[in-house]
Amino acid sequence: MNSLIKLELARAMRNRKFLFFSVIYPSVLFLLISSTSDTTTKVDGTGLTLPTYMMVSMASFGALTAVLMGNSERIAKERESGWVRQLRLTTLPGRGYVLAKTASAAVVSLPSIVVVFVCAATLKDVRLDAWQWGALTAAIWAGSLVFAALGVAIGYLADGDAVRPITMITYFGLSILGGLWWPTATFPAWLRGIAEWAPTHAYAALGQAIEQSQAPHAKDIAILVAFFALFTGGAAWLYRKDTLKA
Amino acid sequence: MTVMTTQTAPAVGFDQVSKSFGNVKAVDGLTLSLRPGETVALLGPNGAGKSTTLDLLLGLKQPDSGAVRVFGVTAREAIVAGRVGAMLQSGGLMDEVTVAELVGLACALHPKPYKASDVMARAGIAQIASRKVNKLSGGQAQRVRFALATAGDSDLIVLDEPTTGMDVTARQAFWATMREQADQGRTVLFATHYLEEADAIADRVLVLHRGRLLADGTAAEIKAKAGARRISFDLEGEIDERALRELPFLTALDVSGHTVRIQSADADATVHALYGLGLYPRNLEVAGLGLEQAFVAITAAEEAKTK
């Protein structure tokens, strides 16, 4: 399986468009958004400056892009082309393909997180303790697995032409709803009520809690665990259905 | 004990295997057994159930009823043991990687791998090793698929319509490579709808039609059966059907008006005997039956036998 992970990774590294959108684009967005405010104004109800707040949002967004986009479209395409069938004629275990996809997406998501942090620290004067940087990286990286599972589920749910719009709607919907682009504090009350239960909101809240030197809230962790169970369960079910059909 | 059974087990065993898609019976009560070392062609027109049969063999599809065994175990177990290499019809390839990388992956995944460079040389793709997989012609892609199927020391090689998209030269080169595999003592099973391919390569030909095994024999036997020819001519005056029916090698007779249509297993002998009757056939035409018609002829013959 390591050989497949290596090859998937080599391929991802060669795909400039994918690298741009998952590694560079979140940092660019971060710089654009944080340039609209000074470095001292606090985001309502958080005690964090806008750049500090948005740094976590954009790092989460970058990781989300890498794992969701990387998985869904590729899987749908390769299912259609018959590559997945061809792999079933090798010793690769059934889950090996999905695990290799997820592992390689996770390797790409790490630099997208780190690049946002580097931009924030060097250009926007975001200052945190060493443990906070470490904990942030770990939390955002680990949390991205939830969305990797979602990407796999979409890849097995949709075919060919349908997969891109479905991925895009999910991707933008989750990004906006989770407050990755604008703090949810700016949302009207009714939308804030919904956003609180979005997996992306809980995801970004993990990082924000660390920035506030707090332990992540139990509710956010519970939401992420529940969605992880839902997405992996769905992916496993769709995978089995697809295997029987092929 | 277990070793004994796997050694004596057939390379491929189908026991009363059926598979339907909706109302269509793609494979219908198929029973067959391939001995290790045989080169076998699975011959049939499009829609005969060849691909479904191979999918069942490889464990890509599960039968509705019956049992499939590969070297005495399930397909998956045989694959994991490295005993099976397979090439699917237009099976997808991982794109945006090079040919060498893809073949390297296949070798890395095989329990008894060959060196990737040797595999590519044998498949005739060494000179395109650094090319991207998605930039290949149809014939080149087929060769890459073949390389994936022969990445290791497998005992059974399964190929679904392997020469699709190849021109005549590529086809011949391909079959030469294929024969090397067979000469190394492997069991080779390939699906084709070309009788000539089956004739040139296989020791044994299985004819599949509508999911059933129509014929099972040497290529020569099948050719004799499927090699039937159609003779048609006009006769003036009264036609003596009884005399025509006695013609040698005749398998079917149809008289309408002055026109006589005959199917014969040996057209030369039949026509010779026709003149021997003192008849003067006009507008004589002798034509080969297409494979499809040949299958119908075999079916008709088989049905007549069972009546």
Domains and CATH numbers, chain B: 2-224 (3.40.50.300), 228-288 (3.30.70.100)
Please compute the mean of the pLDDT values over residues B114-143 and round it to a whole number. 92
Q: What is the pLDDT of residue B144?
A: 93
Q: What is the pLDDT of residue A48?
A: 84
Cβ-Cβ contacts under 8 Å, B79 against chain A? 89-91
Cβ-defined contact of B58 to A89 (cutoff 8 Å): yes
Please compute the mean of the pLDDT values over residues A86-108 and round it to a whole number. 87
pTM: 0.81
Tokens of B24: 């269509």
Question: CA of B91, closest CA in chain A: separation in Å?
Answer: 5
Tokens of B93: 């390839």
Q: Which residues contact B125 (CB under 8 A, 6 or more apart)?
A: B99, B103, B140, B143, B144, B147
- Confidence category of residue B4, pLDDT binned at 50, 70, 90: very low
Q: What is the pLDDT of residue B6?
A: 47
Q: What is the pLDDT of residue B3?
A: 46
First CA to last CA across chain A, in angstroms?
22
Question: CA of B31, closest CA in chain A: separation in Å?
Answer: 23
- Confidence category of residue B305, pLDDT binned at 50, 70, 90: low
Cβ-Cβ contacts under 8 Å, B148 against chain A? 86
Residues A206 and A225: beta-carbon distance below 8 Å:
no
CA distance B219 to B130: 40
Specify the amino acid at residue B230: R
Q: Which residues contact A163 (CB under 8 A, 6 or more apart)?
A: A72, A73, A76, A77, A154, A155
Cβ-Cβ contacts under 8 Å, A92 against chain B? 109
Q: What is the pLDDT of residue B1?
A: 40
Angle at A164 between CA A160 and CA A165, to 5 degrees: 115
Q: Which residues contact A60 (CB under 8 A, 6 or more apart)?
A: A140, A143, A144, A178, A180, A200, A203, A204, A207
Alpha-helical regions (H) of chain B? 2-8, 50-57, 75-80, 99-109, 116-123, 138-149, 168-183, 195-201, 219-226, 241-245, 267-276, 291-306
> DSSP 3-state assignment of B166?
coil
By a Cβ cutoff of 8 Å, what residues of chain B touch chain A? 58-62, 79-80, 82, 84-86, 88, 90-97, 101-102, 104-106, 108-111, 145, 148
Q: What is the pLDDT of residue B226?
A: 64
Tokens of B228: 């039937």
Helices (H) and strands (E) in chain B, counts: 12, 13
